Amino acid sequence: MGKGQIAIRNSLFAIRYSQLATRYSVFRELEALDPRVSYPPFLRGNRPLGEQAAGWEGVPVSPGIAQGPARIVLDPDDLGRVQEGDVLVARAVDPAWTVVFGKVAGLVMEVGGQLSHGAVVAREYGIPAVSGVQGITSMVRDGEVIVVDGYSGRITPFAR
């Protein structure tokens, strides 16, 4: 077992609230030291509605920043609509979609994680990608210019 891991699996159920509270406060202190570290929303907790800036947030799965027109593709038969420099916005990506990765500037998916096909291929191609943005295919307009931040997991409308 590595440092910080529970030595005995069943010990998980014997942890006291005070121990968890201590770990949580240490976590918050470390988070404040390096704001570039991005934690998924389920680790940060909910923010008040007033704090949310324009845009959407997901899980960063491939680093980089990309900007381009959103190309919403819900079916592999529509991949022919994808143009050079588009940001591919899809529910999920499977091997059939790989043919457009040479064209796209960025990738946004509703479903998937670090090991999903879209995330792995995006990293191989060096394409910034964000996953886990539920409902993004219905919130972004096709052709709307968006910015994908593969470091923080933010997707924002491009401010002209």
pTM: 0.67
- Euclidean distance between CA atoms 34 and 156, whole angstroms: 23
Please report whether residue 102 resides in a domain: yes
b (16+ CB within 10 A) / e for 73-110:
beeeeebeebeeebbbbbbebeeebeebbeebbbbbbb
Residues 91 and 70 in one domain: yes
Q: Which residues are known to be catalytic?
A: 117
The least confident of 19-33, 53-67, 105-119 is: 19-33
**27-68 pLDDT, tens per residue?**
788 777 766 656 555 555 544 434 445 789 999 999 999 999
Provide the domain limits for residue 35: 9-51
Residues 100 and 60 in one domain: yes
- Euclidean distance between CA atoms 23 and 147, whole angstroms: 35
